[in-house]
Each structure stands twice: as C-alpha cells, then as structure tokens.
Chain A
Amino acid sequence: MRRDASPFIRFWIEFAENRLALAALGVVILVVGAAILAPLFTPQDPYDIGKLVLGDARRPPGHVGSGGYVHLLGTDAQGRDLWSAILYGLRISIQIGITAGAVAFIVGGSLGTIAAFAGGRTEALIMRFIDLQLSFPAILLALVISAILGQGKWQLTIALVASQYAYFARTAHGAAVAERAKEYIEAALSTPLSSRVVVFRHILPNCMPPLIVVATVQIANAISLEATLSFLGLGLPVTHPSLGTLISNGFQYMLSGRYWISIYPGIALIVLILAVNLVGDQIRDQLNPRLQR
C-alpha cells in the first residue's frame, strides 16, 4: 500500500478485505443498476395503463400472458407483470431513498455543524428543536407530513427529509463539537479564515466519517419508510406502484394462495435493505477508531 495514497484509496483497500461487505456492495450495485436500466430487462412498462390487460390479472409465476411473454414472477391484481413492476418499483424506491438521504445529509450536516460552531443561543435553539423532533417516532412525522402534502414522489421525499435530517444534525453536531475544540480550528481562526471556510472546509470534512455511517443507515431507512408509507396508502398511487404499494396491493390476496403479489416485492425490498446495511456496517467498523488495527 503506498503511504501517500489518498485516504479514499486506503479506505477502499481495507473495505475489500471483508468478503461479505464486498458481496453486499456487489448486490447493491447490481440492484441499483438493474433498477436504473429497468426498461432493458423488462417485457412491460407497468406504468402504462393502456398496456395492462385485466385478463392477465393475478396469474401465477410462469404464466404466459396475452402479450406472448412469460410472467416470471406472475402478475398483480391489475394484470401487471410483477418482474417489471418490481424493477420499476425499485427504481422509485432507490430514487426516493437516495434523494431524501442526500438532502437530509446536506441539511442536517450543515445545521449540526453550524450549531456546534456558533454555540450559545443559536446552538441551544437548533439542538433543542432537533431533540424535540427526535422524541417523536420518525414514521409519525412522515405520516403527518405526507397526509398534509398528499401523494406523489416529491411530497414523499419532502416527508422523508423532514423526518430524517434530525439524525444527521445530531450526529454532525456531536462530531463537530469535538472537532471545534481542536487546535487546528484555532489555527484556522487565527489565520484568520472566515467562519464559512472554517465550518465547511475544516470542521465538516472532519465530521464526515460518522455522517457517512448515518447516511448508509438512513438511506436504508428512507427506503423502508417509503415502503411503509406506501403500504399504508400515503406514499405512491396505485397507478405508479413502488415496492411498498405492490406489497400492499398483494396483501389482501395472501391468504387466498396468491402469495406472489406480495412476497416477491417483499424479497426485493429485504435484499436491498440488507445489502445496504451490510455495506454500512463495514463502513462503520472501518471508521470506528476503537476497532482500528
């Protein structure tokens, strides 16, 4: 290992040593890639209602439908090919999860760091508000906001950001308070460099490790929260099913033996969330100074 290799390269080499995490990363890349390129791998556009044939509804896996192709995982109650619907649903879930995670990262990370740097009343005000918010379950807040804003991709993203930024803010605040007291910050202030530069170029980059860990966990959480809201009927409409909507739609048929409508989207969701969490665990272990070799 070259000694002057950038921290990122050294991090990657260490990451690759954990085979399980590497495999999980492979799964994440595979799922995300398949979701992005969904139109190439699917026989049907599940969002084009004109192409749905009700005669094909609720068919078991392996059924050859009126379109002349095999429904690998069966069809749902609207005659959607489930394989297609799952890939398109993953696309929405991942898109919402990553967008919400990234926005919450930026908003929460900045807010927490600024609070730690400013100190005094500003810090107390911001952090007590965040504590207040964290005392409610995230799902409750997300439910209230999406009930107010209504259904849709952007409404859902806003609800997720509003309920998740607090986790980033608290993590960033804790890390930033520790960094703020270090001598290199004093050195930067005594140059003098502007507060903006000190916060965003000196403190924030040094708070990244814990924030990245929270980010992986929160992206997985955002995806499952999105599924939960959709399952409860507050997320995406039935015409634009995400994974949660698909599971919800199939739920009523579970006991009548048409398990596939709920089970396959459920498996896709579990695999994605598990893989993201495994990657996150390895990143956390690597960034934890107490576990460092």
Chain B
Amino acid sequence: MSAPLLELDAVSRRFSRRISLGDRIAAKLGATVEMREVRAVESVSLSVMKGETLGLVGESGCGKSTLGRIAAGILAPSAGTARLDGKPVMSETGRREKLTTRVQTVFQDPFASLNPRKRIGEAIAEGPLAHGLIDRAGSRAYVAEQLSRVGLDPSYSSRFPHQFSGGQRQRIAIARALAMKPDLLICDEPVASLDVSIQAQVLNLFLDLRRALNLTAIFISHDLGVVRHLSDRVAIMYLGRIVEIGPASEIYAAPKHPYTQALLASVPRLNRHREGRTAFKPIAGELPSPLSPPPGCHFHPRCGFATERCRSEPPQLRPLGPERWAACHLAE
C-alpha cells in the first residue's frame, strides 16, 4: 500500500434535462428558462490504494453508482478527472472514450449485463481477443480457465445466458471482467439482485479471487453488512458528496458523522443481548430531491444536531484522526 492506484480528483457529474428548441429560443429572447440539473456527484476526491478494497455506501440516489461509473470509465465526469496510475481513465476532449482496459466492472443485474445472443464463451473471449491479450487459437483454453476460476464447468462455454441462474450469471459476469486482467475491479451492487443464499456464495467467490489475484476493488452497495465484510476502507455518500471515509472497523465501531450514525442505527439486526424487541430506527425525513438539494450541509433537514451554521455553510471533509475524514461541522 504505497501509491494510490486510482485517484478521483474533484470529480463532479451533472445530469441536465435536455433543453428543447422552444426553450432555447425563449432563452435567446430573454425569457428565464428553468435549468433543471441533477448534481449526481459533487466534487468528490478519493484515492484507492493498490490491493485495497474500498466500500462505497449510501441510500439509493446518492450518486454512488454514478461515482463508480466515473471510476470505471463508463461515464465521463462533468468536471475533474479520474486517473489510474496517474493516467486519465477517459479521454478529456472530443468523444469521451475509455482509454484503459485495466478497470473492469461487474454490474448489478446479471440478467441485463450479458448479451442474450452471445454464447458465454464468446462473451468472455471477446474483450481479450479485441485487445490482443489472447489469440484465437488460445481462446478456448483461456475461456475454460476463466470459467473454472469462478467455479463453473468449462463445458458450459457454448451455452447461452438464458440457460443459467442468477448466481451463475453473476459468476459469468465476474469471469468476463477478470478475463481482461484488470488491476481495479468496480463492483456495482453485484449481489443486490440475487437471493440471499446465493449472495453469500458470490461474495465468498469475490473474497477468494481478490486474495488470489491481489485485486484492488471498489465495492458499491447499500448493504452495510456486506460492505463491512469485504472492505478495508469505507466511504459513506449522501446526495452526491462523501460525508465520511475511514477504515471499515473504525467507521462501524465509532461513526463520526450523524448520517453514518443514523445509517448504522437503522440496520435491522437480531439482538441477542437484550430481551424483548428492539424497534428499527429509520432516519427521520426523506432523501431531499437532488434537483434542489438543501443549502449548507445536505443532511441538515434530517439531522438532530443541526445548527445555524449547518443550514448555511457546506462542511468540508476534514481529518479527524489517522485516515479518518468526515464532513460535519460538529464532529470531533
């Protein structure tokens, strides 16, 4: 763990409504046209060290998948850059194209992420063939190797995706990503759409592969338990910003940001120490619309400790201990 493998430098991503021709003419004529813009990710800086697994946690709509897609070179950031080993992941100008094969992604829904008309052997071999990692003669053996590594029978390579279960498909998707020999693997909620019993299998496979291949990974999930199990460090996101980041064990033991505290308190768990039932503590209020985020600290309308300062001044991430950062005016 020396140099960071992936660096996100103040990346932002805004999604704007397509402006219609009528509105554009109206704007030219001096009318005020409402520009609705979603700030999915707002000036996030982050680095991932070689060999480390970073967990990215947040409610739905907080921008964690968008941040993952920026890191993976699928979405170009509106501002800022994502760099892998110092080199940008996507071209900066013109048609924003991905420049590297060293970041690969495992997607959430294995029913959507595999081309239904491609035999899985072709799907796995396609990328490595296109980038010259293997040649046609060696592709059969290579596919067999990839399949057996994720615990699938190599003879399945001539089957179509519809012949597999969700867990098997996710294994295929992992094999496809790893066949590109990536240094960094982005896992975008890879188990969220699987049955709980299958989730464990896929997660264990992921742990084994990470150890065997010395992978660096970003693991995106809304499931705090899953992330705790897998991650070295955890970053908590709220409405496009990172509110807290630190080593997994410390975040879970002593969360500093009120949002993290509320999030951890809301996790349903079987309580063996206390008698009787304990109620879940959902976070008060609802996630504000990212179209018009509240001023100051985005969390203040739902925060029990909010002060006047929280309502006006957005807090910056500041160090609170070795490797621990939180974006809260009150945290110590």
Contact = CB atoms under 8 A, between A and B. Distances in A.
Contact of B127 (A3, A4, A191): A191
A194 B108 CA distance: 23
Contact of B112 (A183, A191, A194): A183
Q: How large is the interface on A (under 10, 10 to 19, 20 to 34, 35 or more residues)?
A: 20 to 34
Given A184-B113, A190-B98, A192-B98, A4 B74 contact: no
5 contacts: A183-B109, A190-B98, A191-B180, A193-B130, A197-B130
Nearest to B113: A183
Contacts of A193: 126-127, 130
Interface string B93-115: 00001100100110111001111
B159 interface: yes
A182 B113 CA distance: 7
A188 B130 CA distance: 11
A259 B159 CA distance: 58
Main secondary structure of the interface of A (DSSP, over half): helix
A206 B117 CA distance: 7
A256 to B, nearest CB: 58
A3 B126 CA distance: 24
A255 interface: no
Nearest to A189: B74
Contacts of B72: 190
Interface in A146-194: 182-184, 186-194
B117 A7 contact: yes
A240 interface: no
B105 A190 contact: yes
A183 B180 CA distance: 18
Interface residues of B, number: 29
Given A190-B98, A191-B127, A192-B97, A184 B114 contact: yes
A280 B318 CA distance: 67
A191 B97 CA distance: 11
Contact of A187 (B97, B101, B107, B116): B107
Contacts of B16: none
- Kindly name the residue among B98, B115, B176 whose own CB sees the greatest number of chain A CB atoms within 10 A: B115
Main secondary structure of the interface of B (DSSP, over half): loop
A166 to B, nearest CB: 24
A139 B155 CA distance: 53
- Kindly name the residue among A183, A188, A193, A194 whose own CB sees the greatest number of chain B CB atoms within 10 A: A183
A190 B159 contact: no
B142 interface: no
Interface in A110-139: none
Interface of A: 3-4, 7, 182-184, 186-194, 197, 201-202, 205-206
A197 B116 CA distance: 16
B308 to A, nearest CB: 44
B2 interface: no
Given A3-B163, A7-B160, A197-B130, A190 B115 contact: no
B158 interface: yes
B95 to A, nearest CB: 9
Contacts of B173: 187
A3 to B, nearest CB: 6
Contacts of B180: 191
Contacts of A189: 74, 98
B73 interface: yes
Nearest to A182: B112
Contact of B158 (A4, A187, A206): A4
9 residue pairs, one from A and one from B, having the closest CB atoms? A183-B112, A191-B127, A192-B98, A183-B113, A184-B115, A190-B74, A205-B117, A187-B113, A183-B107
A7 B163 CA distance: 12
Contacts of A4: 158-160, 163
Contacts of B113: 183-184, 186-187
Contacts of A192: 73, 97-98, 101
A25 B186 CA distance: 50
Interface in B114-131: 114-118, 126-127, 130-131
A184 B127 CA distance: 13
A119 to B, nearest CB: 11
B116 A206 contact: yes
A193 B113 CA distance: 15
Contacts of B158: 4
A190 B112 contact: no
A190 B117 contact: no
Contacts of A194: 130
Given A183-B109, A183-B112, A184-B113, A190 B104 contact: yes
Nearest to A205: B117
